[in-house]
Homo-oligomer: A and B are copies of this chain.
């Protein structure tokens, strides 16, 4: 099964109370790709500038991502800088230098248009729609977005939402998008916009899945220490889509398949905050993964 991800490949400068790390590998497509754990055929579409280190692209490739869809353009790579508050949840964006990402025009290699699964990471919804319309017949399309597009380009967002199967947003985005305070009502309203499956991410409080026949609440794994939560949402998406690909899911699969994928998303995402940038993810082993999955199930059984 093949998974196509279109998103950012970037550098992040992250400051916490303990440490500051400059220009680390980041971006939604990077976190997503590594979170698929080299299983399946993961294809990465993005853009980097001429300052992007070949070693960082190699790291993605060495973890199973096909990076031949990452264009290199003259100019600077996308660079985000932020500082986390003491609670390691709130953060202030200190700088967003879009660089070559400002003019990103995703180009999907011809033989990737038949990819089984498509994850449209958080980029301009018009670009998301463009990519989606390029595809032949994906089994399932999932989309992430953010307050910027909800507030500034609602029509573009509506156009792409009408054509996707799964929306992944956080709770404040779900409320902003729908104007509904109750997440049950928000999920209903989102379903009326297109996506029949809605995932509401709540960070340390876990995630909710609103399926066709059921609702699932998955808690987050309780971590001993949070080093850097940047990218956890994209890691969730990577684990979720990997799980769907392994189950050969389609948009019409029963809720059980998606509920299982919610657990895989949660377990995968739990490793992310345990290290700076992708370091936490790189520590995943079969054993540590399965232990966390067992822990998670133990926290859930009523």
Stretch at the interface among A24-32, A135-143, A178-186: A178-186
From residue 121 to 178 of chain A, which have CB atoms closer than 8 A to chain B?
none
Residues in chain B near residue A298, CB distance under 8 A: 214-215
Contact of A302 among B87, B183, B184, B301 (CB under 8 A): B301
A181's partner among B202, B217, B226, B263 (CB-CB below 8 A) is B226
Whose C-beta in chain B lies nearest to the C-beta of A205?
A: B205
Q: Which one of B217, B222, B263 lies within 8 Å of A206 (CB-CB)?
A: B217
A223 to B295, CA, bound (A): 28
Count of interface residues, chain A, beta-carbon cutoff 8 Å: 32
Q: Are B222 and A219 in contact, with the CB atoms below 8 A? A: no
A246-302 with Cβ < 8 A to chain B: 259, 263, 295-302
A sample of 7 cross-chain residue pairs with beta-carbon separation below 8 angstroms, ordered by A number, consists of A182-B226, A208-B222, A215-B298, A217-B300, A218-B302, A219-B219, A300-B302
Interface pairs A-B: 4 shortest CB-CB: A217-B219, A205-B205, A297-B302, A184-B222
